[in-house]
Every structure is written in structure tokens, then in C-alpha cells.
Amino acid sequence: MATRRLVLRAGPRAADRLRAEGFHPDLFGTLVGASGGPKWLVLRHVDDLLVDRLILPRSTPLDTLGSSIGSFRHACFAQHDPHGALERFAQGYVHQAYDGPGSPSMEAISAESDRILTTLLGDAGAAEIVSHPLLRSHFVAARLRRDRGHDRGLAFKLQLGRAAARNLISRGRIGASFERLVFHAPGGTGTSADSSIRFVDLVTRTVPLEPANVRPALLASGSIPLVMAGVRDTPGVPGTLFDGGIIDYHFDFRFRRRPGLVLFPHFFDRITPGWFDKPLRWRRPRLEDLDDVLMIAPSDAFVSALPGGRVPDRNDFLRLGTAERIRRWKDVVDRCRVLADELHELIETQRLAEAVLPFEA
């Protein structure tokens, strides 16, 4: 059954379980959040629906795994008032602004991101994320190997160029340029058999989350190279950290996870594993790694009807004046409320399984 605005794709195991059990919170053991900056605004109201249908009513643990903006969204979910945290995040994100003409400096963008995180977390958010009884947060960042303290300039650009060339040969070779870091809440990766997220493709370092390192971990997870300053002096982690999307842009799903399905709310009807894979249209997850995944995204037809015919992105800061960008982003958020309405209807009428399509080979 085709839907009007959403596309839902599921691997064979996920489709079978949805047909047999319908959508219920404890059907899912893992929630994945992709990188994408302003693209997340199309999911603003879907996230509120997930709080009500996936987060608040569940009785079993849920691993949340995110990079960049996916980590920010999940940090809202793991607070005592997730709806309030999402609203603070959306308001702070949409209204970010930079003084003066031209492109803002890397330091200015990093400072504004830190301000958004301060708003998102509030006074107690960091402690609530670490101590959540059921949500096991995992925030992914990337650490530069052969770190010479550079986050700009020719030497750093050459390092990024080498990383892109290695990735072109094989996704696995990016590990020679960047190391994956996973900041995890207690009960998360590396601390207990209670969590089953284990990366098997690249060497991965795990770092326990504490209230003191939640904000720097989140800032590192979203620090885009050449756009934001690299994050240094993170408690317990030497070196310079950058956006987790460098390695795990939309994720390739080649990680071991706890029993249950994987829910992947996404911005597009396509999955790009890593940041350097964006021009490599053939680079996509293997179908066998998507066997237990349910992806929910706006359809291409719906996206084409949004302002500008696309989802918001970072280039809006250059294309649009501040007032026009804020107006357009608010318009996108309002128009995308229908995505949550449609998903709610599919769940309530137990027709979600009918709307599921297979992943494309």
C-alpha cells in the first residue's frame, strides 16, 4: 500500500515481525539517528510521536545510536521531559544566527552549537542522559589519527583528501585516517552484556559517558570538518575530535545489536554510509545488514513539494538571509507535521506493515 507522504522500508525479518506483531515499543531494541544538520527539521514532529509511541511507554532497554544531529536528537529523548527538550532544541536550532557579512568563522559556528547544546540540555539534562533507566545513549565521534593539532589549513585539507582517497578504494580504509569513538551511557557499549552494540568493521574506542563529558561528546559528534573547530580537551580522550558522520554519516548497519528490530527515522529514501560516500552513489549498506531494520522517511514526492524542493541543509546559511532562513525553516517544520500524522494513523489502524516496501538492491 503506497502512502501519500512517507516511505517505509524494511528488511525481511523486520517486515515479518511487523506483520505478526504490529508496531509496539518493545518490538525495537535499537534506534539509529543519522547525521544531517538542518535536515533533521523534517523529523521534528515525528520525533515527538516517537517519544509517545516508542520511548515513554516502553518497558525494556533501548540502545540509541547517533552521530552528529542524530546524537542531539537522542540526547533529547533520554531526558526526563523529552518533549520539552525537543522543543528547546528546535527553537535554539532554528533561531541560530551569525553577525556580519559572509561566512561565519569556525569558532563562531562552534560557539553557536555549544549554545544550542546548553539550551537543549538545560540544568539537568546531562545527568538525566547518563542515568536514564531504559535508554542507553551512544554518541559517535571521529578522532583524527596522526593528529598534529590542525583543524584547518592546507595540512589538514591534505589529511582529509587522503581520507577521501582511502575511502574511495574501500570504506574500511578510512580507519587509517580516523578512529571511531563511541561515548556510551552506563549499560552501554563496553560496560555490560546488557548492551549489544558492537562495531565489527573498524577499530572502535569506547568512552563512558559522565555528566561532565556529555556536552563535549555531543559537540564533538557534530563538529563538521572545515566548518567547525575540532574539539580538544574532552575528558578522558586525547586528540582532536570531529563529526561522527565522517565514518557513520547514515551508518552502514554492520554492527551487532541487542535483540529486537532497528528503527531508523531518516531524511531521505536512501542511505549513505559515510561522509565521504556522498558522491559514491553505489556505496550503500548490504541488504543482509538491513534484515532487521525499519526505515521511515519522507517520500521524494513530499520532499519536492517543500520550500525550495528539498529538505533544509547547511547551504541555507549562505543562500538565505537570517530572517528568510528562519521563516523557511519554520514553514518546513509546520508542513512536516503531516508526516507524524500519517505515521500515527498507520500505527493506530495497524496498517503500518501494509505500507512497508523492501530495501532496494
- The Cα–Cα gap between 218 and 69 comes to 9
Q: Which residues pair with 231 in a beta bridge?
A: 241
Burial per residue of 260-293, b for 16 or more beta-carbon CB atoms within 10 angstroms, e otherwise:
bbbbbbbbbbebbbbbbbeeeeebbbeeebbbbb
CA dihedral 257, 243, 35, 65 (to 10 degrees): 20
3 state DSSP class of 285? coil
Contact call for residues 6 and 339 (beta carbons, < 8 A): yes
pTM greater than 0.85: yes
Q: How far is CA 159 from CA 61, 119, 281, 283, 294, in A?
A: 39, 34, 23, 22, 36
Q: Supply the pLDDT for residue 4.
A: 79
Residue type, 106: M
3 state DSSP class of 83? helix
Task: Give the Cβ contact number of residue 46 at 10 Å.
Answer: 23
Q: Supply the pLDDT for residue 190.
A: 42
Mean pLDDT by 10 residues, the chain (361 residues): 81 97 97 97 98 97 97 98 98 90 85 96 96 96 87 91 95 94 78 66 92 96 94 87 96 95 97 95 95 97 94 92 95 97 96 95 76
Domain ranges across the chain: 6-348
- The Cα–Cα gap between 95 and 262 comes to 32
Q: Supply the pLDDT for residue 110.
A: 94
Contact call for residues 4 and 303 (beta carbons, < 8 A): no
Q: Supply the pLDDT for residue 101.
A: 62
Contact call for residues 263 and 285 (beta carbons, < 8 A): no
Contact call for residues 75 and 129 (beta carbons, < 8 A): yes
Residue type, 104: P
- The Cα–Cα gap between 255 and 241 comes to 22
Q: Supply the pLDDT for residue 347.
A: 96
